[in-house]
Amino acid sequence: MNAVFFYDKTFDGLLSAVFQAYSTKRFPDRLLKVGDVAPMFIDERITVITDPDQAGRVWTGLLNKTDATVRNMLGYVWLSEISGSDELLFRYICKTFDSKHTVAWNFGDADVLELTKIARKVAHEALYIKQFVRFQKSADGIYVAPIHPEYNALPLTIAHFSDRFADQQWVIYDTKRKYGYYYNLHEAVEITLADDNNLLNGRLNDTAMDDDEKLFQQLWKSYFKAMAIKERLNPRLHRHNMPTRFWRYLTEKRI
Amino acid sequence: MWRQKNAYLCINMNEAVTEKLRVLAESAKYDVSCASSGTVRRNQSGGLGNTVGGMGICHSFTEDGRCISLLKIMLTNYCIYDCAYCINRRTNDIPRATLSVSELVELTIEFYRRNYIEGLFLSSGVVRNPDYTMERMVRVVKDLRTVHRFNGYIHLKSIPGCSEELIAEAGLYADRMSVNLEIPTEQNLKLLAPEKDHASVFAPMRYIQQGMLQSIEDRRKFRHTPRFVPAGQSTQMIVGVSPENDMQILTLSSALYKRSSMKRVYYSGFVPVNDYDKRLPTLTQAPLVRENRLYQADWLMRFYRFRADEIVDAQHPNLDIDIDPKLAWALRHPELFPVDVNTCDYLMLLRVPGIGVKSANLIVAARRYGRLNAEQLKKIGIVMKKAQYFITCRELPLLTVQEISPENVRKALSEPRKQKLLHNRQQLSLIFPD
Ligand code: SF4
């Protein structure tokens, strides 16, 4: 007997699916988005209606069975947007409910290990963002940075940037997912730009730039160049540390 | 406030500063310590910056693969001293420059605001005398903290021979301070740097240690006592410029680590400079492999609970170039292996070649759920290529160091020399001993 659940691909939807599975005792082999084509040889198709109430009850259940680290990991894996990661989450949550003790450390279990690994990748992507965001000061005094992360890790970095750059206005914009955050000296709010062409190539137009911006970019570039020890050049290690996919928006790597 | 600053900047920050920055960065880059770690400083009341705990953030990487986390720069590269191993020694005919206190402060802040850096790493050549130099450096960090309310990370390299009062003041503003030992024995230090001696290095180290302990003590009684060098101190030794062996170096390091304030000892393979100086060894290349092995040994002392005399001893005064120090230790002690990963205690797990701290923790956590097999160990991240000779577990053919002999394991695991030279820097950062 094969079953497919169709749901709306939201986190609440996923939790609702867990709720339904337990209340109907039918567990899905696949989780698909409403409207997706089901694979062949399916015996049962079930459409899950997202219900915040049910989702809330599942979450409360998780609060009782897991510690904060595990719940963070669940969030990270959700943000990975890796295909199949929702099915992994589903299985992991079921295993959590089905076992008497926490499964978090059972790395002999393939799902537990996989979940931990994906969570680690997303956490690393958040670190990459903290490392490689490069602000450019715009003419109106706002510090602007485009990014293009592989996983949707920007939300995980906002608290860090808000604390660190508390006395300057800034925007960090995910040009891949077309949304970002604007910090207005009090809080960071989510924004979407009607026109992000100015950001896409990674550099503000000269007219949009603060007068000193070019100078500081120049200073940073020449500092970066001066720091290299020519006798020890190691391009492979360089690319390992600073993957080429970030170069587009890195001031010091632009010609 | 910022608008005003910038107006002033436009006149000040120009071509000349670009050139000074270049010259002074060139002069500062050989100092290897870049770690901006160990402090958590929350942003205070809407000021600029914070420092994150644990590992500081690397914001960029040089093309030779080192982390750039701090603006590492000298206040000036003029120097009245003549240390043989240093490009800034007074005999050298190189471009010289000096940044003003305000230029340096502006550079730090503007770089920081753009997320280029975690903070400042300030060193300096000696002008006039140690105290005069140190005083100017203290002015920079004091300005950053008090006038600009800068909460980013500050590492201050203290000038050998400067007074206790200046260190006491600097310690209030710096997160970390360092005094570089440079040469492990005093006799060789005096030979290569006639103006320096070990007393001028150990005295400031002691002031820093005392200041730190004092402040910790005071903070117990009065919560608002300012913190003193909260991220502790570090030091550096140059490797391969003088004839000391690895045993001398590591014994000294382990003695230094006995002080609670000493957080890191850095080893810097001597990059051949000043080849006209006959006191220096003739090298074609920096001793990178040796530097790497020293870092691995240091790592073993700090995180794997090895003692210096277990890593090197009178019979093996130098680290093995072909294999890492943990493997070398294991091969000298075949009688302790193989161990059963499913039962042996944590400290022994840490000593198995191929098992790092992270995987040791995972193993201890996971084996409570049931015995682990080879496939699971591999997934957990242990390096089977090495570990297979030292462990027993389910489904592993019994071909351990006992059956094969240490010599043959050594042969199988030696890193081919040629490749090692090419990828050495990578090993340094990627493969700390597992
Ligand atoms: S005192 Fe410092 S800057 Fe001056 S020559 Fe010696 S090592 Fe170089």
The one-character DSSP state at B122 is: E
Which residues of chain A are within 8 Å of residue B26 when distances are taken between CB atoms?
226
Name the 3-class secondary structure at B263.
strand
Cα separation, A236 vs B283, whole angstroms: 25
Give me the interface pTM, i.e. the ipTM: 0.90
| Angle between helix A68-80 and helix A52-65 axes, rounded to 10 deg | 130
Cα separation, A76 vs A127, whole angstroms: 13
Q: Are residues A7 and A120 in the same domain?
A: yes
Please indicate whether, in this complex, the C-beta atoms of B114 and A137 are within 8 angstroms of each other: yes
| Cα of A180 to nearest chain B Cα, Å | 17
Q: What is the DSSP string of B158-188?
A: PPTT--HHHHHHHHHH-SEEE---BSSSHHH
pLDDT of residue B380: 85
Q: Are residues A70 and A152 in the same domain?
A: no
Mean pLDDT of the B264-276 span: 87
Mean pLDDT of the B412-424 span: 59
pLDDT of residue B423: 42
Ligand 1 center to B125 CA (angstroms): 6
Which residues of chain A are within 8 Å of residue B362 when distances are taken between CB atoms?
107
Ligand 1 center to B370 CA (angstroms): 59
Query: Which residue has the least CA distance to atom 3 on ligand 1?
Result: B125
Q: Are residues A150 and A247 in the same domain?
A: yes
Q: How confident is the model at residue B11 (pLDDT cuts 50, 70, 90)?
A: very low
Q: Among the three residues A100, A124, A148, which one is the final residue of a domain in this structure?
A: A124
The residues, any chain, with a CB within 8 Å of residue B302's CB and separated by 6 or more, are B257
Mean pLDDT of the B42-58 span: 70
| Angle between helix A85-98 and helix A11-24 axes, rounded to 10 deg | 50
Per-residue burial over A193-232, b if 16 or more Cβ lie within 10 Å, else e, is eeeeeebeebbbeeeebbebbebbbebbbbbbebbbbeeb
Mean pLDDT of the B370-376 span: 85
Residue A67, judged by CB atoms within 10 A of its CB (0-12, 13-18, 19+), counts as exposed
Please indicate whether, in this complex, the C-beta atoms of A212 and B286 are within 8 angstroms of each other: no
A81-103 residue pLDDT tens: 999 999 999 999 999 999 887 78
Query: Which residue has the least CA distance to atom 6 on ligand 1?
Result: B83
Q: Among the three residues A124, A155, A173, which one is the final residue of a domain in this structure?
A: A124
pLDDT of residue B101: 94
Please indicate whether, in this complex, the C-beta atoms of A107 and B379 are within 8 angstroms of each other: yes
Which residues of chain B are within 8 Å of residue A125 when distances are taken between CB atoms?
none
pLDDT of residue A201: 76
Cα separation, B237 vs B345, whole angstroms: 35
B332: which 2 tokens? 């000298």
A135: which 2 tokens? 């602000």
Which residues of chain B are within 8 Å of residue A170 when distances are taken between CB atoms?
none
pLDDT of residue B13: 60
Tokens 């909260």 correspond to B230
Count structural domains, chain A: 2
Please indicate whether, in this complex, the C-beta atoms of B22 and A232 are within 8 angstroms of each other: no
A168-218 residue pLDDT tens: 999 999 999 999 999 999 999 999 988 877 777 778 888 888 888 999 999
Q: Are residues A194 and A220 in the same domain?
A: yes
Tell which residue, B37, B266, B21, B269, has the closest CA to residue B155: B37
Which residues of chain B are within 8 Å of residue A168 when distances are taken between CB atoms?
2, 48, 113
The residues, any chain, with a CB within 8 Å of residue B418's CB and separated by 6 or more, are none
Q: What is the CA radius of gyration of chain A?
A: 22
| Cα of A1 to nearest chain B Cα, Å | 30
Which of B83, B85, B182, B197 to mutate to test ligand 1, by most ligand atoms within 8 A of the CB atom?
A: B83
What residues does each domain of chain B span? 4-222, 330-431
B391: which 2 tokens? 């462990």
B148-181 residue pLDDT tens: 999 999 999 999 889 999 999 999 999 999 999 9
Ligand 1 center to B139 CA (angstroms): 21
Mutation pick from A164, A165, A247 vs chain B, by most beta carbons of B within 10 Å, is A164
Q: Are residues A41 and A109 in the same domain?
A: yes
- Look at B44 and B171; give whichever has higher pLDDT: B171
Residue A16 is part of which domain span?
A: 3-124
pLDDT of residue B401: 82
Please indicate whether, in this complex, the C-beta atoms of B369 and A105 are within 8 angstroms of each other: yes
Q: Are residues A148 and A79 in the same domain?
A: no
User: Which class does domain B4-222 fall in?
Assistant: alpha beta
The one-character DSSP state at A155 is: G
| Cα of B164 to nearest chain A Cα, Å | 32
Tell me which residues have their CB closer than 6 angstroms to ligand 1.
B 79, 81, 83, 86, 88-89, 125-126, 193
Query: Which residue has the least CA distance to atom 2 on ligand 1?
Result: B125
| Residue in A108, A166, A225 nearest the CB of B369 | A108
| Residue in A160, A168, A236 nearest the CB of B113 | A168
Per-residue pLDDT at B260 exceeds 50: yes
> How, if at all, do strands A188-191 and A179-183 pair?
antiparallel
Q: Are residues A10 and A105 in the same domain?
A: yes
pLDDT along chain A (255 residues), means of 10: 88 95 91 86 87 94 90 94 94 91 80 92 96 94 94 96 95 94 95 82 82 91 89 87 92 85
